[in-house]
Structure formats: structure tokens, C-alpha cells
Structure 1
Amino acid sequence: MSETPYKVNIPNDELESLRRRLELTRFPDELDEAGWQYGVPLADAKRLVERWKSGFDWRAREAEINKLPQFTRDIEVEGFGILNIHYVHQKSKVDGAVPLLFIHGWPGHFLEVEKILPLLISHSADHPSFHVVSLSLPGTGFSDAPKRKGFSIPQYAEVGHKLMLALGYDDNTPPRFLSEPLLYLKYLVTPYTERDKAGFARGEWFSRVGAGYYIEQSTQPQTIGYSLSDSPLGLLAWIYEKLVQWTDNYPWTDDEVLQWVSIYWFSKAGPAASVRVYYESQANGHRKDVEATTVPMGISRFPKELRQVPKTWTHKMGNVVFDAEHDSGGHFPAYEAPAALVGDLRKMFGKGGPAFGVVNGKNGYATA
């Protein structure tokens, strides 16, 4: 499982193929004054397609991405063979920095770590420093995708765990498990706060008008996969909707959106591979089979996250030692609110924090 340095280098013929497809884009019509009520506005779609075709400079962005230390490594997954996994590995200058694995979701990618990376590896007597690993999950970015059915949440966890072990991050502390059924009684008698009520309202909105993608991806991922893989506009609209509606009025630039979508378009396995985890996790019951753990956990709460529950509810997950609320931010906090997220990590793992010294021999501070 040796490590290989990696640089993003999309072939010219793939760039030309994308340009030709964009030239042939066929747009749908739109109702008068539709706005966002029916989905991505036609004016936004046309503007972004024109920019993608004629103005967006992928090569310039590619050069910026390649300033990050990137690597690939073969990881053997039990029952699924060997997958070549792509990741960023940025080490702090502090030998005893805390190892941190950054995991994106869908439609995220490894570059979500970009804004918080320099903050996390910085070192000071006032805050801990981190060694950061940000991987492209199997089926996304520049990692291989599994070829067999059944690759679900446990296998994603196996990949992340084995990657960190291969990089030498092992504190030799085995996890232990417990359940907290009595917490149910606690949250039954705890009044809901105004923030709790706002969180419920956000979740209700999401279930009513924002969860259509989930139903499709968790039941018929191959069907939507044809559109995502064959149509640049189809992929753009599918992801752009989430970037806008899942964030807290984040001021997306067109080039930010196009970089985000391009990573999916140019992904090693193709855009369809990224959505199958929804089917596998649903079919195999892995969205519900979560055991409480005694490993210290921290939670950062952002008001525009899609589903939110009261604090007392989340404590049934296990040993929650840190719980912070923020006034702004949504589903992509590392990108929307990097300072707030890093601040929480520093408080949790810093001196006097509830997880200080939790990793044996790596407390995040330089020795005197």
C-alpha cells in the first residue's frame, strides 16, 4: 500500500468533449416569474453554461488544486478488492499535531477542505495544530469506484480507517460501545427552544420540497446516472440546486460553482458512481444501524443544515463532549464558515478542551 504523488491533469480531449457538449445544450422552457419555485432558474442555467463553455479556465484552477499535496494509495476493502484512493495529506510542522480525517458528503468533494486547511495546520501556543487528510470517497473525485453491489457506509468507514493507519496515525485505543436508552426520557421532558423549532421547520421544508434527489438516488440511482454522466447541464443543475438551497445565502461565484461541478464531471469513475451510496445505505439499513460510542464526539450546529434535532437528542449517539451553535452557515460549513468550524475544533482539542490529549502522544502543541 505504498503512496504515490498525484497531480490533477485532465486530458485535452476531455476538455474539448465537454466544450462540444455544452455547445449542443438544449434548454427547457420556463414559466413566467417561476424564480426558484420550480427549481434552478433558466437564466442561471444559461449564464453558467455560457461561462463553463467560454470563460471558465479549468487549467488555471487545476494549477491551484495541484499546489495541494495530493497522493493515491491502494486500499484493500474486505469483499470488494483493492481500490485506488485519492487524498490530500497536509502535515503540520508540529510533530505532535492531532491527526484529522476530513470526510465530505454528496455533492461535496475533497476540496471542501481547502479553506480550513491553512488554519488547521497553523501552530501557536494558543491553539492546537492538526495533520489533515482529506480523501476523495470511493466513487467521487479521483478515487476508484467499487464494482460490486453492497458497498455501503461500513465500507466507506473501512477505507478511511485503513487510510489513516497506512499513514501512520494509530493511537492504539480501541473503540468501545454503549447505548443510552434513558436519554429518551430526558428529551421527552426537555422543552424545545426557539432554535429547536427553527430546526424542525428547516427539516420540514427539506422533506417537502428538497428531498426529491434523495428518493431518486436511494431507489433508482442508475436512472439518474445517465443524465448526470451524459449531460453537463443535467449535472450542473442537479448540483447547483443543492449548493444554493443547502447553504445560508452563501455568495457563490459562477467560477466556484463550475469548479465544484467540474470535479464531478471529470471524476475518475464518472458522476453516476457518486450517488449509489444512497441506494446501498438505504437497502442495507446502514442509515439507522448506528451504535453509540464512548469515543469523544463534537457537534457544530449551523442554522441552515438540512435536518436538525435538539441537543439532548444527539447525545444518544454516545459520548458528546462538545456542542456548539452558530448563527450562520449551512450544509457545507468548511466552505461557508471555515473560521467558525476551525474555532470549534480548536476549542474541542485545545488545552482545557474536552478532547485535549485524546490521541495518545499527539496533543497538537509543539514541545518546549
Structure 2
Amino acid sequence: MTDIQPYTIAVDDQRLEDLKLRLSLARFPDELDEAGWDMGSPLADIRRLTSYWRESYDWRKAEKELNKAPHFVTDVQCEGFESLAIHFIYVRSKVQGAIPLLFIHGWPGHFEEVLKILQPLTEGDGVKCPAFDVVAPSLPNFGFSEGPKTRGFAIEQYAETMNKLMLKLGYNEYVTQGGDWGCHISRAIAHLYPKYCRATHLNYDSANPPEYFKHPLLALQHAVTPYNSRERRGVTRTKWFETEGRGYNLEQSTKPQTLGYGLADSPVACLAWILEKLHDWTDAYPWTDDEICTWVSIYWFSTAGPAASVRIYYEITHNVDGRSGKLDHQALRAWSPGVKLGFSHFPMDLQVLPSMWVRTLGEVVYEKDHDSGGHFAAWERPDELIADVREMFGKGGGAFGVVTGATGYTS
């Protein structure tokens, strides 16, 4: 355990000065009258935030706040790849036998998303309210984790990295929580490491409709049961995303390097690319300028650079010389035995699917429909997410008792 070291976020002054210089030299495009958000991040918002980021925003203050959480770093090596220094937040509950919970972020999220739910989850009493040991890594290529230098680091490798991190921390059994890529990586872990991952709670839906050959009872129920109001709204939201919101995905899945020049060279391009998602993917969340600047700064100052974060989209859709394995999006939607599943459905997420669909993935022991909330549930609706996780894993919940005898690493 000696290679698990405390970590402090400390961006050097030269990088801060470089950011301010680049912001001062920004050249903005024009904009059509009444373009609004329909055509992307509005010019007025980007101008305002660029000015604020350069003149008023205090990264040192944000850095100090981020460092209040206990950060660590350790080396993890996937088979066939170089060892990577993986950054993570790690808080152990004072409750003996707390449930080890691996929080997995997505894009354009990062480890910061865990901060609003971190303390409440660790402070359960372990009787009426379950307590958790929370591990929240920066995924490889994100935040303050390193990224690989060779092609083929796909969903299997992200899952392998996360599983090895939990084993290294002393957890032979654990549960996961995530949305976006956190959902997909959790699904990969469920397929590859069901011995260790005992249950998963997801705030993102990724599934196919039930088929008569594979899921005869679910398919029959799906055919004869009308969608409820939540599911009907979900069809509309999902259709919007498929027709109006997937452009970023296509670019990141096919030509991430081309996009990367803008993300790496221009903080304004990085800001505009991410801000669009923070606006469109949330349920009217009242983002402050400080929140946005911190969120984007974590990408700008990331160890592997902001361009690295989008490569996961390419790698999962391009199996390079067979190195990345066979777990594409369709494979992740196959039934995974032995791992209990729970879902929190938020109406303004990107894919909001009918219950019969997600029940094709495995043993679903928990579902909760919410009237509001979007893609970044831990940040937008932390109280609701905390309550759902507690209910799923607490006494009487569908995943109660799935983990026994957890110990964990003591620094």
C-alpha cells in the first residue's frame, strides 16, 4: 500500500498566467439574430464567462475548496498498457462495515460531482441509514489522472482500472454508482467482474427494448402495458437528444484528434464545448459563473489535457487490432447475472427509457421516478440521489446486505 499517496491539487502560476493570456486574446465568432441556445452556446454568455474567467474568477480559492476533500494518487496498470497514476477522492465512513461505493463520473463531468453527496453518504448510521466508504476517481484521461499514450484503451480498460483500484484499496466486494460513462463503465464491471462488483445504482438509462426471443415475459408486458406519463415524456426527451443533441458524440466518436486542437489550444473553445452540455443536459439548473469556471478549469488544467477526455468515445467504437475487446454499447446492454441493479430516472437526462427496457439488463431491485432533474444528478439533485442510494442499499432495500465484511485501506 506504500504507493497510495496523498495528493494535492496545485496548478502552477505559469499555467494560470497562460490561461489568462489566451483568454485575453480570444477571437469570437459572430452570431445570427435570435440564435439562442438552439445553435449552441450563445455569444453573450461566452463573452461574459470569458471575461469573468480572466478578470474575476479565483482558481486559487476553488483549488483550496477542492483540496478540502482527501485526495490520493496511486499507480494502476491494465494488461497490455503502461501503468497510470490514478487520482481519486477517498473517504472512509466511521461506521464499521460500511459499504464500499465506487462513484464513476462521465463526460463532461469529473470527480467534483461527488462533493455534494460525499459527506452524507459516509455519515449514515449503518442501521436505519446505510453508511458508505466512497471512492471517487478521476477516470484515466480525465481530471488529475494520467492517460494512456497508445490506442486501444477502451471500456474494458476503464473497467479494469476501476476494479483494480478498489481491490488495491482492500475491497474484495463493492458497489458502484454512476451516470453517463459511469453507467457504461459500471455495466462493463458487472459483465467482467461480478465476483467483486455486487450491485450498481445508475442515474442513466442505456438499454434496448425487450425482445420475445431473449425476454419473452418482458416483451409481452411491454407490448400490452401502456407507457406511464414519465415514460411518455422520456420518449420525447430521448428523441430530442437523438435528433438535436448527438453532434458532439459523432465528432468525438470519429475524429477526436481534430476536435482536440481546439480543446487544447483555446480555453474559450473548451468553455463553449462544455457549457452547451451543462445548459442543455440539466433541468434549468442555476449554474453560477464560479461553478462553470471551476468545472471547465478542471478540464483545462487536467493532467492529460482536455483533448484526452473525448477519446473514450472513439475507443469504444473502434476495436484497434482486437486489443480493446468486445464490449461495445450493444454488448453492455446484455443481461449481466449476479449483479443487482437500481435506477433513478430523471426526466431531463439524455436517454429516459421505459422501465421494461432497463429490466433487460439484469436483476433490477430498485427503481425511482423523479419529477425533475437532468444528466448530472449528483450535482443537480444531490438530496434525491442520496435518498435513492440509501433506500436501495438500506434495510428493506433490494440490495441490502450485498456486501459483507468490507475493510478498506487505512492511510
Say whether the 8 Å CA contact 1:175–1:295 is kept in structure 2. Answer: no
Give 1:123 shift: 2.4
Say whether the 8 Å CA contact 2:171–2:406 is kept in structure 1. Answer: no
> Percentage identity across aligned positions?
53
Aligned to 1:311: 355
Aligned to 1:45: 46
Structure 2 stretches lacking a partner, 5+ long: 175-193, 199-212, 320-326
Matches within 5 A, 1:1-368: 2-124=3-125, 125-171=127-173, 174=195, 181-182=215-216, 183-284=218-319, 286-290=328-332, 291-293=334-336, 294-361=338-405
- After superposition, give the CA deviation of every residue in 1:109-128 in whole Å (9 maximum; x if it has no partner): 00100000011011234311
CA change 1:362–1:343 in 2 (3 A) is farther
Give 1:269 shift: 0.5
CA distance in 2, matches of 1:55, 1:151: 38
CA distance in 2, matches of 1:87, 1:222: 27
CA distance in 1, matches of 2:359, 2:96: 33
The size of the alignment, in residue pairs, is 362
Three-state SS of the structure 2 residue aligned to 1:203 is helix
CA distance in 2, matches of 1:65, 1:192: 43
Q: TM-score, normalised by structure 2?
A: 0.85
Give 1:362 shift: 5.0
Give 1:31 shift: 1.2
Three-state SS of the structure 1 residue aligned to 2:366 is strand
* Letter of the structure 2 residue corresponding to residue 218 of structure 1: S
CA distance in 1, matches of 2:17, 2:82: 34
Say whether the 8 Å CA contact 1:181–1:316 is kept in structure 2. Answer: yes
Structure 1 stretches lacking a partner, 5+ long: 364-368
CA distance in 1, matches of 2:351, 2:124: 34
* Letter of the structure 2 residue corresponding to residue 167 of structure 1: L
Give 1:192 shift: 1.6
Q: TM-score, normalised by structure 1?
A: 0.95
Say whether the 8 Å CA contact 2:347–2:373 is kept in structure 1. Answer: yes
CA distance in 2, matches of 1:171, 1:22: 46
Give 1:289 shift: 1.0
* Letter of the structure 2 residue corresponding to residue 288 of structure 1: Q
CA distance in 2, matches of 1:134, 1:176: 15
Three-state SS of the structure 2 residue aligned to 1:300 is strand
Say whether the 8 Å CA contact 1:3–1:71 is kept in structure 2. Answer: yes
CA change 1:176–1:131 in 2 (3 A) is closer
Alignment RMSD, CA only?
A: 1.8
Give 1:143 shift: 0.4
CA distance in 2, matches of 1:176, 1:352: 20
Aligned to 2:182: none
